[in-house]
Chains A and B, each alone.
Chain A
Amino acid sequence: MTRVRNVLLIAVALILAAIYLFPLYWMYVTALKTSTAMFASPPIFAPRNPQWGIFASVWQERHMAGYLWNSLVIATSAVVLIAILGVGCAYVLARYRSVWVDAGLFLVLMLQVLPASLMVTPIFVGFSQLGLLDYPRLATVLAITAKAMPFFVVLVRATFMSVPMELEEAALVDGNSRVGAFFHIVLPLARNGILVSATLIFMQAFGEFVYSKSLIQEVGLQPASVGLNTFMGPNSVDWNRIMGYASIYVTPILGIFVLLQRKIVSGLTSGALK
């Protein structure tokens, strides 16, 4: 009885997942179609003559190496900066209970919710007055850091809450300094949670668009999200090539996600609600 039930439920679950993930399938399939197959009616659901060459040619023609390199530089710098600043902040906010900690948490939560598209006007004007726009990627990294760090703090704080404080106290009794106990005891225990949160932030920063689009004018310094936006244009019909670009851009993210799925999901749920 339970076996029949399970088989039935798994079948329904697979169908639901297939429907939900169809847009991704359609992206890959379209990328592999010829220009005529792409516009066939009725649509072709399994390409007969896959054009594997499209990826190399889009990569070349759209200068994707440069775009993806910029995405990587921006996302990596932002994550490193966020981790350096955010881990300590999350630790202190998790370790104590006081009015000040509540106030700090409140501030962090409030800064987390400010939409980038509403903050970019003063950031653009202010950064240009300070001369920061001469270093557009740095300016973007700073803006992304300020935007994404609060979320990171919330997630990592949840991790620190689950590290028993007795372990740190024992280390202090054994003669460790606070710095020593922090680096040798607390950080290693929270390492997994920190890595998962950093991965999540990396994926967000890798796809960031508003700040990159507004602060980086020079095409050679723009990330892949802006490159995709430029490629799409208002009347574009090159859908197989656009889907080829999208596939190249998104596949690494999908790979990371599938590998770390379980941890990402649990890290996310512990931070956002609990």
Chain B
Amino acid sequence: METDAIWLTFRLAGVTTLALLVLGAPLAWWLARTRSAIKPVIEAVTALPLVLPPTVLGFYLLILFNPEAPIGRLWVQLSGDTLTFSFEGLVAASILYSLPFMVQPLQSAFTAVGRAPLEAAASLRAHPLDAFLTVAAPLAGRGFLTATVLTFAHTVGEFGVVLMVGGNIPGETRVVSIAIYEQVETLRYADAHALAAALLTFCAIALLAVYAANRKFPTHVG
């Protein structure tokens, strides 16, 4: 069994999900509440990874992360390592690739919460961060659950971007989907079967958990 690949996949998905919770929640919050004219632009950019072929995203990221390019060079200067063909590069790529899976459920959850409970909190002297943590976030709990599980599962399932940006370095960038691809290429069907079934089972259970929780989670309307 490809334990290295499995461990790496879950590490990548975990780090990506945590990073997206920190980055995506404020973005979703802003999108849900802003009346700014640039909101549609940001929404479109956020949704791009949904429709873009992963190879296209991966190709551009490969060019951006190249040590000769400004971002790639900056990273090399800061960390001494390259972004391409490294775990850090995979995390950065996955954050972009999975962004809509975090932002969209959260944005609709925050929109559903609306301004009313936050006005009530403000009238009780809760400052905005206090009101977010004690009122908006609990009321958007279902959105957080959905966004977290979808982001994690989607990152586990990513392939094209990883292949373009990370390659196939065992313990560094060789995730489960890459391992399956390689096993099929080298005609090791039995290994591919085992790994593919494991991934299928995991994703099915994750989605089942989301939908089951969505049924039981209180909706807090009214």
Verify that A and B bind, or say they do not.
no
